[in-house]
Amino acid sequence: MKVKELWSFKHYEPILGVKLGDINDDGQVEVVAYTETGRLLILSLKGELLYQEIISKNSPIWHLEIYDIDKDGTNELILGGMDGYLRIFKCNKTYVLDSLWNHKLGSSISGILLDDLNLDNKNEVIVFSLDKTIRILKNLEGNLVWGQVFEDGIGDAIVYTDHRNPGKKEIIACGNDGSFRVFDAITGKLLWFEKYSDKIRCITYLNSINGPVIICGGDDKKLHIIDKEAQEEIKTIEFNDYIWKCISYPFLKLNKVIINSYSFAHFNSSIPLENIKFTSKLICLNETLEVIWELKGFNVEFLDIIEIYEKIFLLAGTTRGEVLIIEERTGKILNKINKDSCTNMIQFFVEKGLIFSCHENGRIFAYKIENL
């Protein structure tokens, strides 16, 4: 796979994330980046800076979603960060932002999900935080539908849909207290939970040949696979490092999962980053819960799954600043781009075959896949 670099943009502080979307209904897709000091940057697809604004002064923005939350035909910006504020903005033709509503949580926001939980054709906002709460908010004004409290901060959450009964949804969340908990998505009622010895960092589910399983992992360096119906662990896979991220795919089937582990060997190390031999890895599980491939030696900071002409690929960004395009079936690296700074996020614009990466040194790069 051949990839050509198109342009780069330099900012003076770390770029923590980048998202793509038409944010002001002008028919053009913008590149929206967010920074360590709470600044929002809006760029054109050609890398021109169109607008910038401080959202949360000297406080990082961790999350951004671009979505038409009020169903008026124009996307809004949904932002969450370290200061605990969930902010919803509209953007006009000149990119000036106007607040639609906001909601204050007690600590840093860990994640934002959007899903139609009660099947009324309106997506609720699901937000979870290190303040120990997960909250379901109405889309138009941010009013609380329900909330639940953990013993410690919440790190990850998913919406589970029963493929045999699509009207039945659950929210499964995991936390720093070592637990994952399953809630009725409409009422917030706790249905059941499981608790482990250490922090659980990530959670997903997989439709195995024997039924749905919950997959989670974290600081105990074990991947836990739990039969959802029986509510008991059926398999454990041990790693050398923390389990960082797990993503199930493909959409609708959800019968495979990618897991990456993460090493902190580079923290406070006197060894140059390029010389550190990471033990972290990526693995792929299939519907029989067997490992079909693994890729070792890459410390993955960001992971996503994309589809190009009905073929599935992985995008991975690493601590060393690599941007990897990986064949999903085999784990083979099809292209590796080397940059000199940690890769914080990668986004893919399928209509034009463009890839965008952002980095700790304030760089944003745009690439074109030339032989799709």
- Nearest-5° Cα angle at 155, 186 to 123: 35
Supply the pLDDT for residue 316.
99
- Provide the whole-model pTM: 0.95
Per-residue pLDDT of the chain (372 residues; tens, 9 = 90+): 899 999 999 999 999 999 999 999 999 999 999 999 999 999 999 999 999 999 999 999 999 999 999 999 999 999 999 999 999 999 999 999 999 999 999 999 999 999 999 999 999 999 999 999 999 999 999 999 999 999 999 999 999 998 788 789 999 999 999 999 999 999 999 999 999 999 999 999 999 999 999 999 999 999 999 999 999 999 999 999 999 999 999 988 999 999 999 999 888 788 888 889 999 999 999 999 999 999 999 999 999 999 988 899 999 999 999 999 999 999 999 999 999 899 999 999 999 999 999 999 999 999 999 876
Supply the pLDDT for residue 167.
82
Supply the pLDDT for residue 181.
99
Place of tokens 């922090």: 199
Domain boundaries, the chain: 196-339
Contacts 24+ apart (CB under 8 A), 294-302: 294/331, 295/326, 295/331, 295/333, 298/322, 298/324, 299/262, 299/263, 299/265, 299/266, 300/244, 300/245, 300/260, 300/262, 301/262, 301/342, 301/343, 301/344, 302/343, 302/344, 302/345, 302/346
Q: How far apart are CA 119 and CA 140, in angstroms?
A: 16
Give the C-alpha distances (Å, rounded to integers) separating 202 from 175, 223, 286, 354. 9, 10, 18, 28
Question: By CB neighbour count within 10 A (0-12 exposed, 13-18 middle, 19+ buried), where does 298 fall?
Answer: buried
Nearest to 1 by CA among 295, 370, 324, 337: 370
Is residue 371 within 8 Å of 1, Cβ to Cβ?
yes
Supply the pLDDT for residue 372.
64
Q: How far apart are CA 208 and CA 277, in angstroms?
A: 34
**Dihedral, CA of residue 158, residue 164, residue 167 and residue 172, to nearest 10:** -20
Superfamily of domain 196-339: YVTN repeat-like/Quinoprotein amine dehydrogenase (2.130.10.10)
Query: Bridge partners of 76?
Result: 67
